Structure formats: C-alpha cells, structure tokens
Amino acid sequence: MERLNRKERLLRRIKRHKKKAGIHTSAAFLLCVAAIVLINVLNPGSTANSQPSDEDHLLTLSVVGDMMFGRHVKKAVDRYGYEHPLDKVKPLLRSSDLVTGNFEHPILLEPPEKYPVFDKSIRLHTEKEAAKALKEAGFTSINLANNHTMDYGGPGLADTKKTFDEVGLETVGAGRDRYQAKQVAYQEVNGLNVATLGVTDRYPKGFSVKQSSPGVLPATPKTALPLVESAAKNSDLVVVHIHWGVEYDNNVHPRQRVFAQALVDAGADIVVGHHPHVLEPVEFYKGSVILYSTGNFIFDQGWSRTRETAVFQYKLSKDGKARLEIHPMLIREGQPRPLDGKLNVYRREKIYMQLTSDIMSSEAWNQKWKREGPKLVHEWDPKVLKKKQRGSGQE
C-alpha cells in the first residue's frame, strides 16, 4: 500500500473535517434549541401570564406576510373552499381592529389565456373568491406592491383592484397610473388615524408604474420617503409595506437596514417587510418597529423555513404604551396553524430564534422579550399618542 506524505495526510484530515462540519453545526444548533426548550418546560416561571385586557387597547393591528391562493393552494381550496386557508387564524385576525398583508398575485376574472403576460419564469394568479375570504377573515387593507401583481399585465391588475373594491378592502402600492399607485389608505380606529402604504424593491422590468400606465410603486428614496412624510403629517400612525430582500435568506442586508431606518426617520411607525419567504429579525428603532421579513402566510412552499410564520399584532394602549405580540404559526396545506401547547415548544423556539437577534434567554434578550404562553412579546413606548397630542395642541 502506497504511503502518504505529511502534506497528503493533512489534506485528507481537512477533507474529513469539512464533511463533518455541517453535521456538527446542525447538531450544535439543535442542542441549543433543545436546551432552551428544556429550560422553558422545566421553568414555567419564565413565561408571564399577566397582560393588558383588550379594553385597555386603543388599537390592535395584525400584520402577516405573503399570501398566495394559486398553484398547490388552489388544490386545497378546490377541495375545502377558499375559507380553508384562514380557518385556524380567523378568530385571532377578527379580534383585531385592522389587518393587513401582502397579496402575491393578481385576481383574474377571465381565463388566464385572455390576458397579456410578462416573460417571466413564474406567473401566479387566483380567483375573486380569495378576496371574499380575506374580507371575511377580518382583513382591512391589502398590499399589491410586489413582483407578481403585474404577472398578467394591466388588465390583471385592474381586475384585482376592482374585486377588492367590490368586497370593501383597501389596496395600496399599485394602480392604473402613478397617481393611483401612490394613494394611501387612511382608516380611523378609536380616534386614531392609521395610514397604510406600499412600495416594492423587487419587480421585473416593465412592472413599475408610469405617469399614465399601470404598475407597482417602486421603493426608491425619491418616491417612498416623501410619501411617508406626507402620510405622517396626515395621520397618527403610519404602516409601510415594502417588498424587498433576498429570497430564502434569513439575514438583514445593510442596504435594507439603512432604508428601513430612513423610512422611520420619515415618519413610519411600522415597517412591514416581505418577499424572502422566510422570517427575518425584528428591530426596534426610535420608537418604531421594523419587521424585516414576515415570511409566508398562505403559501405552498414545502421547506420547513418557508412554512414557519407568525401573526404580528401591534397593540397600542390608552396609556400610550405599545406591545408587539408574535403568534408563531406553521403552514400546512397552505393553511397557517397556531403552534400552541407543549408539543410545539421546539418549533416555537425555533421561530423565536429567527425573529430575535440577541442570544436566546440571555440577559439582553430577557430585557427585550418575554414569553406569554405561546406568544413572544415586546413592550415599549412608541410615543404615538404624544405625537398625536402635539399635533392637536394638547401638550
């Protein structure tokens, strides 16, 4: 047998180590999560049970990520009905004053072959029953600023807006012309005026709205920042949908962080990110909350990370304090289902790890987050009511 020299033996050891490195990394991650799960099962005192009653809240706003009723989800709704994807979350959503999310395709009122199509590898669409199901589940506004709204051209967008108008749902982020695409949805709850708008950083060539032709509203500083500033002057709380990031990437990129903070500086109170199809960390900046990616919500992708999702509830109390309540979910057959009970502790903790940047259960983490049953909660003073008082001259 031929003997190996020292360099060859070293190379062989390095090769063996590389093969094992991925296994060791995965094992370490699983052990870390398992330890956190064990701590929380054995130490129920780490979970807080007291929380403000609904009567204490001026506003409850629920936010979700990408919603898609086509492809394999269509098979489920054909079998169970268009209400099926929202059955398990409907009570939670309907307990909210406002509900908003990203609608990842157009509604077509005619067969698809009757529409112009863009030259792209994936085209999505759904039927008008999807809009009715969202309205029934409690949605109050829908973002259309994304990379699929124009899959079937201007006629597809026109059908989409017409259908949502008919069921009484506000749409933002796209329109027949630039003026309509820039329209902000203003909704009042208990004397609070809430503004919602949408922009997208991800769209194929030809999707961008023009002065007199249909499309989606691009997320350029020149367009987005003045729009947010205007909305902030005309409302008490501003919600900004933004379609951005890298698909299947859990990391927040520096360009996103800079732009998100610029949106907050312009007046955004809640930045709602989507497009990556996976969850990304939550950030609190100058009293505002940035949800870099809310993941999928109704979708047919089968990888575990694309099935892990949440309902994000922003609750504003009469004393001016805010709570972000994160309700972890898992998508099965296109249907988000709450991860309640001890059997789902591992999956919940895994979602919490994706959404929080500090080391789980560290001192820094515990100062920012707390568990309330199956929810993860953060409380802070967003100064929304103080801003409202200054605007009305009450201070």
pLDDT digits (tens, 9 = 90+) for 334-364: 999 999 999 999 999 999 999 998 888 899 9
Q: How many domains does the chain have?
A: 2
Domain co-membership, 222 together with 245: yes
| 85 backbone dihedrals φ, ψ, rounded to 5° | -60, -25
Q: In angstroms, how far is the first alpha carbon of the chain from the final one?
A: 89
Q: Is residue 1 included in any domain, yes or no?
A: no
Print the domain residue range for 34.
8-44
pLDDT of residue 384: 87
Q: Which of 150, 165, 238, 163 is nearest to 200 (CA)?
A: 150
Domain co-membership, 275 together with 314: yes
Alpha-carbon distance values, 84 to 10, 21, 330 (Å): 58, 42, 15
Tell me how far apart the alpha carbons of residues 81 and 129 are, in angstroms, rounded to a whole number: 9
pLDDT of residue 53: 61
The residues, any chain, with a CB within 8 Å of residue 190's CB and separated by 6 or more, are 58, 59, 97
Is it the case that residue 43 has pLDDT exceeding 50? no
Tell me how far apart the alpha carbons of residues 97 and 138 are, in angstroms, rounded to a whole number: 8
For 177, other C-beta atoms within 10 Å of its C-beta total: 14
Domain co-membership, 69 together with 218: yes
Q: Is residue 392 included in any domain, yes or no?
A: no
The more confident residue out of 49 and 225 is: 225
pLDDT of residue 391: 67
Domain co-membership, 71 together with 40: no
Q: Which token pair is 91?
A: 């009570």
Q: Is residue 2 included in any domain, yes or no?
A: no
Q: What is the mean pLDDT of the chain?
A: 90
- As a whole number, mean pLDDT of residues 2-31 equals 48
pLDDT of residue 20: 47
Enumerate the β-bridge partners of residue 316: 59, 322
Domain co-membership, 32 together with 176: no
For the stretch 20-35, pLDDT in tens is 444 444 444 455 555 4
Domain co-membership, 271 together with 130: yes
Amino acid identity, position 271 = V
Tell me how far apart the alpha carbons of residues 250 and 206 are, in angstroms, rounded to a whole number: 28
Q: Is residue 131 included in any domain, yes or no?
A: yes
Tell me how far apart the alpha carbons of residues 282 and 260 are, in angstroms, rounded to a whole number: 12
Domain co-membership, 36 together with 71: no
Q: Is residue 390 included in any domain, yes or no?
A: no
Q: Is residue 51 included in any domain, yes or no?
A: no
For the stretch 148-197, pLDDT in tens is 999 999 999 999 999 999 999 999 999 999 999 999 999 999 999 999 99
